Amino acid sequence: MADRTDELLDHVLRQAAIAVIREDSEEAAWELGRCYAENGFGAIEVTMTTPGATAIIARLKERYGGRGVVLAAGTVRSSEEAAASRKAGAEILVSPHTDLRVIDYALEHGLLCVAGAATPTEIIRAWEAGAGIVKVYPARHLGGPDYFRTILGPIRGVPMLAGGPVGLDEIETYLDAGAVAVNLGTSLAPPERVKARDWDAIAKLAQRAVSIVRSRSEAAHDSKSVVH
């Protein structure tokens, strides 16, 4: 199970962005998942506050799991929700806080746990408890990229994800500051676009986000390939 957890961690690090779905409509949530999966996202999170969350996770897993898309369940606040998420096909459990029951469940079942934290004390406690990644949340309100630069000075070796809201124009700034990945929610699915069922516009935003991350990854690869 440890091997699979390592694979999931590597997958998130390669993706560097997780598309987050938090909607009031199961239909809208499914359409967003489809948009994200078909436009380059390899990690998609469906929050448990979304109606029919586990059913959506199961549908996305069935259709896109074979194409390299890994499903995450978000806002997981109990071991019962963790179990339901796993049964639906989620392999990543994301929480806005640190819940030892959720972390223990993830470790026991070979899942990747992304636990939420804000302060240095909370971040270290989440990491030491077994979280594979610590979600610094809400990143923008804690100081944004500058907060990451500051805390990553003394707190090294802890993979930290920037919890939303994160704008598309902030992706590179957070990654440059040391975040291993970012959560993207309303920046991919503006409420007015969702309300209008403008899936084409949302698909274009997804493509833009994926392009930003891929261009960065390719540039890093090219720089390593240069022979001095």
Average pLDDT over residues 200-227: 84
The candidate with the shortest Cα–Cα distance to 185, out of 170, 173, 175, is: 170
Arithmetic mean of pLDDT, 121-134: 98
So what's the pLDDT on residue 222? Answer: 61
Residue 145 has pLDDT above 60, yes or no: yes
What number of CA atoms fall less than 13 Å from residue 83's CA on the CB side? Answer: 4
Predicted local confidence at residue 1, as pLDDT:
61
Residue 32 has pLDDT above 90, yes or no: yes
Q: What CA–CA distance (Å, rounded) separates 19 from 41?
A: 7
Helix (H, G, I), strand (E, B) or coil at 111: coil
CATH number of 2-225: 3.20.20.70
Using pLDDT thresholds of 50, 70 and 90, give the confidence band for residue 228.
very low
pLDDT at 2 over 80: no
Q: What pLDDT was estimated at residue 215?
A: 94
CA distances from 176 to 16, 49, 150 (A): 12, 31, 13
Q: Is the pTM of this model over 0.75?
A: yes
Q: Is residue 5 over pLDDT 70?
A: yes
Residue 225 has a pLDDT of: 53
Q: What is the pLDDT of residues 164-213, one digit of tens each?
A: 899 999 999 999 999 999 999 999 999 999 999 999 999 999 999 999 99
Task: Compute the average pLDDT of residues 135-160.
Answer: 97
Instruction: Please give the mean pLDDT across all residues of the chain.
Output: 95
Q: Please compute the mean of the pLDDT values over residues 123-151 and round it to a whole number.
A: 98
pLDDT in tens, 52-72: 999 999 999 999 999 999 999
In this prediction, residue 218 carries a pLDDT of: 82
Please spell the DSSP secondary structure of 121-141, one letter per residue: HHHHHHHHHT-SEEEETTHHH
Give the number of other CB atoms < 10 A from CB of residue 177: 20
> Which amino acid does the sequence have at 36?
Y
* pLDDT of 99 over the 60 cut: yes
